[in-house]
Structure 1
């Protein structure tokens, strides 16, 4: 039996109009790094591997333990710095792709979302994304554990304040919140 509420739910949509900003891409990459297992692993692997390799080399070469410890700490710091630089580069690459859209209009409904820009458009259904995270400024959509899908929807683009709540409700029905 189809009720009027079911029809309303199917046609519910949220509309966002915004221009992609580098800060949005940086925040989305940061969310991925902190809230997903693969992002946390990427954040930890480089410093840990640097530290372990330097310590192993120092111990195998018979260096003084104090020298090995200091070298390992410096290597971990260098690895962490490299990880941060890598995330910044990832955010710049992401922004380079989406900045070509220019002014974007994204319509989100129960089937997925469609973004239309000044020079190109993109459509995605919910099968492409499995999870989402919400920050004070953004909704970040993430693909599955092995997917590299990442979409950003800035709250500042909501055509009306209720669109943020509508988007949150649509996402809760279709994706898992991180």
Structure 2
């Protein structure tokens, strides 16, 4: 706390470099939203969304044709294969979100500082930093900023907007991300 009682962690432009601070408790829904954004906005996410149901459908139809099923049963197998594939994609995304949340939940309340050098997150039990070479793209949802990295978006970081210390941090973060990463 400063002499005037204001928080000393407020974000301010620091010389040439500004920073945005987010303080939040990691929530499962944040990671679920991030995994959903990854699936919608990256090539890898769109491929897994389409390929798993198509492969499952192809296997089911191939099996039905190999066994000499009647055309009506082949159609039923196609619908069942498509449904099973879509269900598998949905369960896989939920499991990914659960695993990501499990890792971050151990941090407890997180404080993430984002500036021109990258991100630095500190929690109760752990901390990590990442420079901008770790990430390649970013996406925004109504509730989150999602940082994605790698050619297959294998690296994922989540910043919930609810954690912004002040409303200007959301706009400040957009500016920092636009200067350092490509928006999806």
Q: Deviations over 1:15-50 (max 9, x none)?
A: 111110001000000001111110011111111111
Give 1:10 deviation, angstroms.
3.4
User: Which of residues 69, 74, 78 is equivalent to 1:72?
Assistant: 78
Match of 1:50 in 2: 56
CA–CA distance in structure 1, aligned partners of residues 157 and 63 of structure 2: 42
CA–CA distance in structure 1, aligned partners of residues 27 and 98 of structure 2: 10
Is the 8 Å Cα contact of residues 10 and 110 (structure 1) preserved in structure 2? no
How has the CA–CA distance of structure 1 residues 147 and 40 changed in structure 2, closer, same or farther, with 3 Å as cutoff? closer
Match of 2:88 in 1: 82
CA–CA distance in structure 1, aligned partners of residues 176 and 115 of structure 2: 7
Alignment pair present for 1:116 and 2:89: no
CA–CA distance in structure 2, aligned partners of residues 44 and 155 of structure 1: 30
Corresponding residue pairs, total: 172
How has the CA–CA distance of structure 1 residues 8 and 102 changed in structure 2, closer, same or farther, with 3 Å as cutoff? closer
Is the 8 Å Cα contact of residues 22 and 95 (structure 1) preserved in structure 2? yes
CA–CA distance in structure 1, aligned partners of residues 96 and 57 of structure 2: 24
Give 1:8 deviation, angstroms.
5.7
Looking at secondary structure, tell me which structure has more helix per residue. 1
Runs of 4+, deviation exceeding 4 Å: none
Gaps of 5+ in 1: 1-6
CA–CA distance in structure 1, aligned partners of residues 34 and 15 of structure 2: 28
TM-score normalised to the size of structure 2? Answer: 0.90
CA–CA distance in structure 2, aligned partners of residues 42 and 156 of structure 1: 30
Match of 2:6 in 1: none
Match of 2:112 in 1: 106
